Amino acid sequence: MRNFRTAALAGVATTLLALTACGGGGELSEEGAADQPTAEASASFEAGTKMATISEAGKIKIGTKFDQPGFGLANLENVPEGFDVDVAEHIAAKLGIAPDAITWVPSPSAQREDLIANGEVDLVVATYTINDKRKERITFAGPYYVAGQQIMVAKDNSTITGPESLKANPDQKICSVTGSTPAENIRQYLADPSQLVEFAGYSDCADQLKNGQVAAVTTDNVILTGLVAKSDDAFKLVGEQFTEEPYGIGITKGDTAFCEFINETLSEMSESGDYEKAWNATAGKYEGTEVPTLPTADACV
Ligand code: GLU
């Protein structure tokens, strides 16, 4: 196991990394990745489309998270790994772009619409909930997964048992991320607004919980599941999921052709079994997750 791990960390063989992931049992010290998709060099697209532009340029800029185990977590070479990364690599491959021609752009929750609207990335795959407010500035392909908001606390906390217990415990602060849907949604459950502490990323919230600065963290269940798995048994999830968070892929507002292309790629990923494979190699490694089926895509508008 040790030799496999060294090879994988050196970036020598993705296949070995996948083997490590499968055989690793409870060992979760690095993210897995499904076999990387092969770039489809023969792809040809209608002139003037985003697909043609990217495919001719031979490179792509993709926004994702760098601090979320299971979805987008930077490895030792600062290259992100996870389910979002695998999904994005499939889209890139359909455009003839190999993984090493992808520029990964860290995309904190509050910056995603700006990154897309300013043209700093071609797409964002980053645990990104589809909602109307965001649709005012960007277009979403997908959804490709549906998460739900939940709460994480320290293992020995028996006071916070779900969102309803927050009001009665005003001294117990809860952490979430600026610009995220869970940070907005949790407000209705608080004793007063100062009970919520906001940071730029979920790893910041996990640090706060570890240090006892906050009593709880809230965001999507699958993000919390990854943080619990990496917590050395220090954290646990409490209560049920209390929202639906359909994850979309953010692109330039109004680019319906690119949106349809991405939805088609997602369908193919599901039909070929690559969607399930990608899940099992990444977020699916964590206890308490279930293999999803690809949700029906929304209309591209
Ligand atoms: N899915 C939620 C959102 O898009 C929370 C996760 C995140 O902040 O990336 O706001």
The rounded Å distance from CA 172 to ligand 1 centre is 22
Q: Where is average pLDDT lowest: 3-17, 145-159, 185-199, 252-266?
A: 3-17
Check if 105 has its Cβ closer than 6 Å to any atom of ligand 1.
Answer: no
**Cβ neighbour number for residue 171 with a 10 Å cutoff:** 8
Rounded CA separation 11/61 (Å): 21
113 touches ligand 1 (CB under 6 Å):
no
- 146 membership: H or E segment, kind and range: strand 138-147
Instruction: Indicate whether this model's pTM tops 0.85.
Output: yes
Could you tell me which of 242, 234, 219, 228 has the C-alpha nearest to residue 163? 242
Q: Which residue's CA is the nearest one to ligand 1's atom 8?
A: 180
The ligand 1 atom nearest the CA atom of 128 = 4
Sheet holding 196-199, edge to edge: 196-199, 174-177, 216-220, 149-154, 235-238
pLDDT confidence bin for 30, thresholds 50/70/90 = low
Residue ID of nearest Cα to ligand 1 atom 5: 180
Can you tell me which atom of ligand 1 is nearest the CA of 183? 10
pLDDT of residue 43: 62
Residue 234's contacts (CB-CB under 8 Å, 6 or more residues apart) are 154, 155, 210
Determine if ligand 1 sits within 6 Å of the CB of residue 203: no
For position 4, what pLDDT does the model report?
32
Q: Is 109 in the pocket of ligand 1 (CB under 6 A)?
A: yes
Take residue 202 and report the two structure tokens written for it.
């979920």
